[in-house]
Amino acid sequence: LKAIVFDGRNSHFATDLPKPLPEPGESLIQVELAAICNTDREILKGYRPDYRGVLGHEFVGIVRESPDPSLLNRRVVGEINLTCGLCLYCSSGRPHHCIERRALGINDKNGAFAGYLTLPTSLLHPVDEALPAEKAVFCEPLAAALRITEQVEFAPGTPVALLGDGRLALMICQSLAATQDVDLTVFGRHPEKLALFSPYAKTFGAIDTEDTFEVVVDATGNPASLSDAIALTRSEGTLVLKSTYAEKAHIDISMVVVREIRMIGSRCGPFKPALELLQTGKVDLPPLTCFAPEDFKKAMESKTFKAALDFRS
């Protein structure tokens, strides 16, 4: 099996991995495409030094073995959090925070940068025939973008600032525009990337902290932007944090206390509405750039909108 394996410090391309064996309740999925995410880059920088195994968590593939016969040979996407179903969090509607949580390609579960993967069948979502693999693979990050809409209630016309002009920011921008009545402003450093946001939001290259917003979403992937994010948030407003970093952030936390800012961490989100947005074309992202799994290093360095490893041949 071709796979990209992380040893705690480095990653390498392997060809000798055995096909994984599904545990009880799991399905075996033949990976078609597995997309590279910033989290993968952060793992290589030291964000998850305890992780060993196959990287990758954004995938689309075909079910080859399953306890659910209706899924056989269907194209699926999959949620990435494996949960125990019994702990404090699982039994109180917060399974994404399961104490025993394992996560595909991130924590104690071999990931999607491989010819095959296994996942609990309950985490799989069949994809409409009409939706190509190249679009379906955006489901996981788009679900993460939609998590904001589960955590924040947006009154009509709410002024919202989005910091960042990368992949996740574009998914947040499009999903907010498609599902909420908000007044959206995007701040980014790259004019060529900002152009992708202009159909959905006002865009600015520089931050002017004279303007403030009821809701600010930080999706820059850079801890240095947090001071700006706090300054842009109105007192008693909400700051949503979408980025994880290997480094620590330095912020004036007293500002958050005095100005009574609500800070919300935001991670994985709902797959069903994400698939729906892709299937109805309400969210339409720039094309993927596909690489052979052998060219993993090149794919990691790619500056295109989204790079993916193609395991189909």
Asked if residue 110 binds Zn ion (CB under 5 A), the reply is no
Q: How far is the CB of 303 from Zn ion (least distance, A)?
A: 18
- Taking alpha carbons only, the member of 101, 137, 151 closest to residue 262 is 151
Q: Are 305 and 292 in contact (CB under 8 A)?
A: no
Of 36 and 182, the one with the shorter C-beta distance to Zn ion is 36
Q: Using alpha carbons only, give the angle 265, 185, 189 rounded to the nearest 5 degrees.
A: 85
Cβ atoms of residues 20 and 110 within 8 Å: yes
Stretch in the footprint of Zn ion (CB under 5 A) among 22-30, 32-40, 243-251, 261-269: 32-40
Q: Least distance to Zn ion from the beta carbon of 82, Å?
A: 9
| Pair 104, 48: CB distance under 8 Å | no
Q: Which stretch binds Zn ion (CB under 5 A): 63-71, 96-104, 271-279, 301-309?
A: 96-104
Return all residues near 25 (Cβ < 8 A) that are at least 6 apart.
67, 120, 121, 122
* Least distance in angstroms from the C-beta of 268 to Zn ion: 9
Q: Give the count of beta carbons closer than 10 Å to the beta carbon of residue 200.
A: 17
Cβ proximity to Zn ion: between 94 and 297 the closer is: 94
Distance of closest approach, residue 66 Cβ to Zn ion, in angstroms: 23
Residue with tokens 């996740």: 168
The Cα–Cα gap between 4 and 87 comes to: 32
- Asked if 98 touches Zn ion (CB under 5 A), the answer is yes
- Per the listing, tokens 């709410």 go with 158
- Binding segment (CB under 5 A) for Zn ion, from list 22-30, 95-103, 251-259, 290-298: 95-103
We find the least distance from the C-beta atom of residue 108 to Zn ion, in angstroms, to be 14
Piece in contact with Zn ion (CB under 5 A), picked from 3-11, 62-70, 76-84, 276-284 = 76-84
Q: Which is nearer to Zn ion, 37 or 178 (CB)?
A: 37
The C-alpha R_g of the chain, in whole angstroms, comes to: 19
87 near Zn ion, judged by CB under 5 A: yes
Tokens of 274: 């994400």
Answer yes or no whether residue 84 interacts with Zn ion by CB under 5 A. yes
Strands (E), the chain: 3-6, 11-14, 26-35, 53-54, 58-65, 75-78, 81-82, 102-103, 116-120, 124-126, 158-163, 182-187, 202-204, 213-218, 233-241, 262-265, 289-291, 307-310
Q: Give me the least distance between CB of 89 and Zn ion, in Å please.
A: 5
Closest separation in Å from C-beta 244 to Zn ion = 10
Rounded to whole angstroms, what are the CA distances from 209 to 160, 163, 223, 249?
14, 12, 17, 20
Candidates 39-47, 184-192, 255-263, 301-309; binding stretch for Zn ion (CB under 5 A): 39-47
Q: Are strands 289-291 and 182-187 parallel, antiparallel or unpaired?
A: unpaired
**Shortest Å, Cβ 35 to Zn ion:** 8
Select from 37, 146, 232, 299 the one that contacts Zn ion (CB under 5 A).
37
Of 89-97, 155-163, 173-181, 193-201, which part binds Zn ion (CB under 5 A)?
89-97
104 lies in the site for Zn ion, by CB under 5 A = no
Pick one of 27, 39, 174, 175: the residue that binds Zn ion (CB under 5 A).
39
Binding site for Zn ion (CB under 5 A): 37, 39, 83-84, 87, 90, 98
